Amino acid sequence: MAIDVRTRAQSMAGAPAPDRYKWVALSNTTLGVLLATLDASITLIAMPAIFRGIHLDPLTPANSFYLLWMILGFLVVSSVLIVSLGRLGDMYGRVRMYNLGFVIYTVASLLLTIDWMTGQSGALYLIVFRVVQGIGAAFLLANSAAIITDAFPAGQRGMALGINNIVGVSGMFVGLVLGGVLAPIDWRLVFLISVPVGLFGTVWAYLKLEERSKPHRAPVDWWGNVTFALGLILIMVSVTYGIRPYGASSTGWGSPRVIALLAVGVANLIAFAVIEGRVANPMFRLPLFRIRAFTFGTLSTFLSAIARGGLMFMLIIWLQGIWLPQHGVDYADTPLRAGIYMLPLTLGMLIAGPTSGYLSDRFGARPFATGGMLGSALSFVLLSLLPIDFPLPMFAGVLLLMGISMGLFASPNRAAVMNSLPPEDRGAGGGMNQTFQNSAQVLSVGIFFTLMILGLSSNLPHALASGLQAHGVSAATAHKVSAIPPVSILFAAFLGYNPVQHLVGGHVLSSLSPANHAALTGRSFFPHLISGPFSTGLHEAFGFAIVACLIAAAASLMRGAKYEHTEEQHAR
């Protein structure tokens, strides 16, 4: 009765009618998810401009901490908090938590534009408020899918969640282009652009979104929240140290620090599972994993994100470090061009996502999600078969296929997961699914970079030393440069620097003959030098992704027939 009275009052006041409200909910939450995912990647292409703006060299070993946390800090904090914030949405209102997220996100975006400091203090300021921005993004991501699920009938959720999810995933790639366009004008614009959009979204959300869920107040599961957050943080921090060199090793996975972080992180997650099985009001109800559609849908979410999470970094390095310089593009211009050349991936997702989501409402998620993962595996096979100096139309075609395959998987899978959840657990359950996706992306970056580093470390030092000596660099200097960890060379290529010019140094280059100087700092020396070792590492990384996609396809196939949790089941 209270809901009927409220609906009539809203209609008399001129608020959207119930049949129109679902589109208000979809459009606002899609804007929120787009901002959250776009800001996860917008700094990647803008990183050189940001570090130049604060007068800090990100490739100096002492500054690698700031570089890694500028890249991963946003993803880490949003991954850690999503389940907790989804649970708070179940308890205190999903719209209330979502609206608060818009406020936090917008304020943090504004504060990021007014960094007046330089050097390491300026970088630390940016990292801190990127973390705050990530907290706001976590509020948005944790509750958006549940708000849509509450607003749409079961027969339309695939289409609605498909649009929301695919726009969100596409935001990761749109952010690359947007960062490349804005950063050369002024690095602060990378953060400032989110302020008016965030302000508009905040006002719109507070005025138009309705609380369609039934909040169930309960005591906060503090021990569950703390152990879950601490476990994820420690594991993901270990990734940032694992891809850095340790002693004579090119990676740090064998270091005592990484082993300790992983061990304590896993111990906290085990403690979390024990706590959740015993407390009266758990942060996350482990019995939800008894729902077959939820369990295998979430598992396939994790595996698909593991496969694609590091793909963006590998493609950026491939384009910026090798292909674009070989085709006459200055290193300073490669970040924007790389973002543009990756747009077919976004186009494919935008084409396939909403369509497959709509069709999954009628035929179920299993055929589309499983087929999408098989298509993704085929796309990785085709990428691994491409020559390093590939024909651009062929590269674009493979990326388009990859985007279509990801879209076929993502939308039906998200809808199937949300449809399988009881209404009172949609926030926490949707948050757990999103957490598996975000944390898998961080782990994927660590895995892809590790495989690439191992591939480079076997051949690159000798090739670099001999190449430098062939162009007049002394043996001592050449061997010193060749001892630089491969991750530094990868980061140089990733940031759009000329790696040789940056790593050899101007004083050495200035002592060479004009011909040798021009050869070493030109657009062909480094790409030809790194092509062979890079190809080895790339094949290993893509081979891992193929296996992950095939396992994800098997998990998707095991989700069972179309399943929707109904109100009758909830009542029982």
530 touches 494 (CB < 8 A): no
| Structure token digits, residue 535 | 């190809």
Residue 516 has pLDDT above 80, yes or no: yes
Residue 222 CA to residue 219 CA, distance in Å, equals 9
| pLDDT at 6 > cutoff 50 | no
Q: What DSSP string describes 3-47?
A: HHHHHHHHHHTTPPPHHHHHHHHHHHHHHHHHHHHHHHHHHHHHH
pLDDT band of residue 75 (cuts 50, 70, 90) is confident
Q: How far is CA 202 from CA 17, 22, 149, 451, in A?
A: 21, 18, 20, 42
* Mean predicted confidence (pLDDT) in 367-375: 93
Query: Helices 334-341 and 392-419 meet at what angle, rounded to 10?
Result: 60
pLDDT above 90 for 113: yes
Picking from 308-312, 399-403, 566-570, which range would have the lowest pLDDT averaged per residue? 566-570
DSSP H or E segment with residue 414: helix 392-419
Whether residue 59 is predicted with pLDDT greater than 80 in this model: the reply is no
For residue 248, what are the contacts with CB-CB under 8 A and spacing of at least 6? none
The number of beta carbons lying within 10 Å of the beta carbon of residue 254 is 11
User: For every residue of 86-135, which 3-state class applies, written as one string?
Assistant: HHHHHHHCHHHHHHHHHHHHHHHHHHHCCCCCCHHHHHHHHHHHHHHHHH
The answer to whether the CB of 470 falls within 8 A of the CB of 515 is no
Mean pLDDT of 509-533: 82
Q: What is the pLDDT of residue 9?
A: 42
Rounded mean pLDDT, 109-117? 93
User: What pLDDT sits at residue 208?
Assistant: 92
Say what the pLDDT of residue 325 is: 87
What's the pLDDT band for 112 if we cut at 50, 70, 90? very high
Contact 354, 411 (CB under 8 A): yes
Cα–Cα dist 337/351, whole Å: 23
501 vs 59: CA distance, rounded Å: 12
pLDDT at site 349: 86
Q: How far is CA 470 from CA 24, 325, 352, 478, 542, in A?
A: 64, 21, 50, 10, 33
What is the per-residue pLDDT across 195-227, written as a single tens digit (0 to 9) for each?
A: 999 999 999 999 999 988 888 888 888 898 899
The two tokens of residue 522 are: 């030109």
User: Residue 160 above 60 pLDDT?
Assistant: yes
| Greater model confidence, 499 or 143 | 143
Q: Looking at this protein, which amino acid is placed at residue 506?
A: G
Whole-angstrom distance, CA of residue 547 vs CA of residue 551: 6
Options 3.40.50.300, 1.20.1250.20, 3.40.50.80, 1.10.10.10; CATH for 16-218+281-455+534-564 is 1.20.1250.20
Whats the size of the chain, residue-wise?
Answer: 572
* Ramachandran quadrant class, 548 (left: phi over 0; alpha: psi -120 to 50; beta: rest): alpha
Alpha-carbon dihedral 131, 136, 137, 141, rounded to 10 degrees: 140
Contact 56, 171 (CB under 8 A): no
Instruction: Report residue 566's pLDDT band, with 50, 70 and 90 as the boundaries.
Output: low
pTM, two decimal places: 0.82
Residue 571, pLDDT > 50, answer no
> How far apart (Å, rounded) are the C-alpha atoms in residues 454 and 456?
5
Q: State the DSSP H helix or E strand holding residue 385, giving kind and residue range, or none if neither.
A: helix 366-385
Q: Is-contact 72 445, C-beta < 8 A?
A: yes
Q: How confident is the model at residue 564 (pLDDT cuts 50, 70, 90)?
A: low
Q: What is the pLDDT of residue 502?
A: 72
Q: How far apart are CA 536 and CA 524, in angstroms?
A: 19
Residue 381 identity (one-letter amino acid): V
Structure tokens that stand for 534 in this block: 């890079």
* Mean pLDDT of the chain, nearest integer: 85
How many Cβ atoms sit within 10 Å of the Cβ of residue 12?
Answer: 8
Is pLDDT above 70 for 16? no
Q: Is the pLDDT score of 545 beyond 80?
A: yes
Question: What is the rounded distance in angstroms from the CA atom of residue 173 to the CA atom of residue 442?
Answer: 16
Q: How far, in Å, CA of 149 to CA of 154, rounded?
A: 8
Among the listed residues 242, 220, 252, the one whose alpha carbon sits nearest the alpha carbon of residue 92: 220
- Give residue for tokens 């972080």: 261
Res 532: pLDDT = 81
Q: How confident is the model at residue 513 (pLDDT cuts 50, 70, 90)?
A: confident
Domain boundaries, the chain: 16-218+281-455+534-564, 219-280
Distance CA(506)–CA(498), nearest Å, equals: 12
Residue 11, pLDDT score: 42
- Of 507 and 253, the structure prediction assigns the larger pLDDT to 253
What are 252-309's pLDDT values in tens digits? 899 999 999 999 999 999 999 999 888 888 888 888 888 888 999 999 999 999 998 8
Judged against a pLDDT cut of 60, whether residue 312 lies above it is answered with yes
What pLDDT was estimated at residue 3? 42
**For 24-35, what is the mean pLDDT?**
92
% of the chain surpassing 90 pLDDT = 30
Of the candidates 303, 298, 446, the residue with the CA atom closest to the CA atom of residue 373: 303
**Spatial distance between the Cα atoms of 424 and 93, rounded to a whole number of angstroms:** 11
Residue 44 has pLDDT above 50, yes or no: yes
Average pLDDT for 119-136: 93
19: confidence class by pLDDT, cuts 50, 70, 90: low
